Structure 1
């Protein structure tokens, strides 16, 4: 049973006003790391609040340059991700083989920029047509688990792997927060600021059900005895106190007006596009199209904006590419059709950088939006690359109200599984994993077996599973 707390007139230990993230300005420096690699202290927001009001009419491509360029790899034989240009009628065009220079882009073509630090350059998409894509007949099957529902099992998973001590944040101390209005209805996308008396802070936004998970050790390295929690939305604000070790869930009453508007959904796909994903991408391409089509046809008819981030690694044809959120579904489906695998070489890939770009650089819409990120990968991130690392970005994702559904493809090792599950669990999402007839052989066809450390799961086709999760998320809206 949730424990409803009355509003506090004040909290002497923290007389200052709560620190809220700003929608614009310079992103504060990352918190300094302390001795324990999973206990870090955060005192300022490492993100900007989502503030976009509309999505682009056409997908705009951006490229993140490798901060430390490497010589190109020569062993690669897979096709590269095709460049796209959208002309009248949404015509798709593809990348030529290097080193041929790209042809100039016509005025009506897709607007593209290259991002390198603070500098952006326009790209001209190449012109060679794509070869026809062969649709795979076999469905892609998958299972799903909720590590917040089976939190004890999730902690056992982490305890069973020594590398988990060096990964992510300490989530062992967890508190459920729910925000409701005066009639007891969920208040989605409410901003939450948590602060200890000595200045440790974290931020979150409630999901479609008005809920957020707060992990005290993920931002506070000093085991503070109590915390002030400020919640705000639509100009209304409430304040409550949380004591460490409190067993009951917190329920905060925020007297806001009901907003029976059409649901707004921002959905971003983040895809590992290295060579090892070649077979999976061929199979997933149709599933992603079916996911987009299924969401567009949901009974609630949400106002949908779609985005895409693909990534490879250093020394490849590109590092990270993105197509910002757009409401043009037909154009976005053409972008999805152009995804090709190539590059890679070692096991880890540029997941950290892609995740940071997806959370921090895309134009997520502002208040009253449900924000979801679907991440597909078969390899862990490069933890030997400079920051930001995924554990910092997942804090920013929670602060911006971005829930992550992590999808593990064939070949994902235990480190990658831990990373994907940590991200999903911290942001309130789910861990999804592809299944096969023979767990050890992805070529065996669709089935119900998996190599991942999961139990008590059901299997469905990937597109139906993801559409169901999105439908369930939106169904929680008041």
Structure 2
């Protein structure tokens, strides 16, 4: 376009351009995700997600009830536990809970939350459904909602090219969270590989943003060697060892790395993901450039199972081939044909802001329930991924 006359001198030090990333929500496009998994190949550890049930807990006014423990029981003595997020929803995959044992194809979901109890019976073998538990009480009035945010970060040598931009991204998110209209507790887990100076290193969740920023600035990449890294150990540390708050309406973990887990550790993953579900921890996964196909498939599985989204840095090997068939018609105002894209810091910040918005939203409006969002016309979509303007 025509050049514009500068009205003031350009600053001498310009801010580094943001890391560009794409985003893929595999629960909003659940059927498309299953097609992708068929092409990615099945692996022994992978949870069976071919049937899905959204369990929604609402108060007397129909508002979302966050952090409610939901217990699913059936014919056996076994029980499967989940915890709702800020949306009032928990995702249950019945084929990962066969030990519960359906009775006449029925399971029972029950909760005791906010001074009230509620139950709902549902079919165990429905392919995609929502189960509504209405409580007789109203949700307690809250001040600013508390949201826990943890970064689970690969700091091995292969991340050395990315680590500076990842650190800038985390620092930018940390600064912006102060204006997000929520109280945020923020923490981190570093993971490397066996034989390195450490395998995992935790930084507790804190409201002291200055201290956290200092911790992030001191992170450096090194170690590793072979391609796989100690991903399972990093995720397990985040789920089991970080000081998640019972007062938080949401527990978010952002897994950032460029390499898959070790094959011999894959059997431990279903247990880690189930424990995340039990504690109401959502993993949003971020694939750095250079991630291979196995790693990309794992990142997407971990996000989809826990209700998160998968983001990927738009540079090098982790780009559009990781997005499945996509939207053949249009991107509803986006710049890409089949995924939302924008600056990574804004995509991450948007996840935190979305949690606060869930408290004001209708918990029964669920993207991807029964029909993939990409299969709907733009004006009929349950949610539109906002296009984040590049800075």
Q: Normalising TM by the smaller chain, what interval?
A: 0.7 to 0.9
More helix by share: 2
| Contact 1:287 1:463 (C-alpha < 8 Å) held by counterparts | yes
Q: What residue is the counterpart of 1:258 in the other structure? A: 139
| Contact 2:85 2:249 (C-alpha < 8 Å) held by counterparts | no
Unaligned runs of 5+ in 1: 1-133, 443-448
Cα distance in structure 2, aligned partners of 1:149 and 1:306:
27
Q: Deviations over 1:207-266 (max 9, x none)?
A: 211111110011215863221111121332112211223464211101233223120011
Instruction: Report SS of the residue matched to 1:231.
Output: strand
Equivalences for residues 328-407 of structure 1 within 5 A: 328-385=208-265, 389-407=268-286
**2:166 counterpart of 1:276:** no
Equivalences for residues 459-478 of structure 1 within 5 A: 459-478=341-360
Cα distance in structure 1, aligned partners of 2:166 and 2:129:
42
- Greater mean alpha carbon deviation, residues 239-248 or residues 167-176: 239-248
| Contact 1:403 1:428 (C-alpha < 8 Å) held by counterparts | yes
Structure 2 residue corresponding to 1:234, chosen from 102, 111, 114: 114
**Number of residue-to-residue matches in the alignment:** 332
Q: What residue is the counterpart of 1:307 in the other structure? A: 187
Cα distance in structure 1, aligned partners of 2:288 and 2:124:
38
The alpha carbon displacement at 1:380 in A equals 0.9
Cα distance in structure 2, aligned partners of 1:256 and 1:160:
47
Task: Please give the TM-score of this superposition, normalised by the length of structure 2.
Answer: 0.81
Task: Please give the TM-score of this superposition, normalised by the length of structure 1.
Answer: 0.66
Q: What residue is the counterpart of 1:452 in the other structure? A: 322
Instruction: Report SS of the residue matched to 2:186.
Output: strand
Structure 2 residue corresponding to 1:143, chosen from 11, 19, 22: 22
**2:23 counterpart of 1:152:** no
Q: What residue is the counterpart of 1:113 in the other structure? A: none
Cα distance in structure 2, aligned partners of 1:277 and 1:368:
31
Q: What residue is the counterpart of 2:309 in the other structure? A: 430
- Greater mean alpha carbon deviation, residues 243-252 or residues 263-272: 243-252
Q: Deviations over 1:70-96 (max 9, x none)?
A: xxxxxxxxxxxxxxxxxxxxxxxxxxx
**2:291 counterpart of 1:412:** yes
User: Which runs of 4 or more aligned residues in structure 1 lie more than 6 Å from their structure 2 counterparts after TM superposition?
Assistant: none
Unaligned runs of 5+ in 2: 1-12, 327-337, 361-391
**2:59 counterpart of 1:178:** no
| Contact 2:50 2:95 (C-alpha < 8 Å) held by counterparts | yes
RMSD over aligned Cα atoms: 2.0
| Contact 2:189 2:200 (C-alpha < 8 Å) held by counterparts | yes
Q: What residue is the counterpart of 1:215 in the other structure? A: 93
Q: What residue is the counterpart of 2:381 in the other structure? A: none
Instruction: Identify if the C-alpha distance between structure 1 residues 334 and 368 changes in structure 2 by more than 3 Å, giving closer, same or farther.
Output: closer
Cα distance in structure 2, aligned partners of 1:284 and 1:219:
37
Instruction: Report SS of the residue matched to 2:172.
Output: helix
Instruction: Identify if the C-alpha distance between structure 1 residues 273 and 135 changes in structure 2 by more than 3 Å, giving closer, same or farther.
Output: farther
Cα distance in structure 1, aligned partners of 2:91 and 2:84:
9
Q: What residue is the counterpart of 2:335 in the other structure? A: none
Instruction: Identify if the C-alpha distance between structure 1 residues 419 and 248 changes in structure 2 by more than 3 Å, giving closer, same or farther.
Output: closer
Cα distance in structure 2, aligned partners of 1:273 and 1:135:
27
Structure 2 residue corresponding to 1:199, chosen from 77, 80, 83: 77
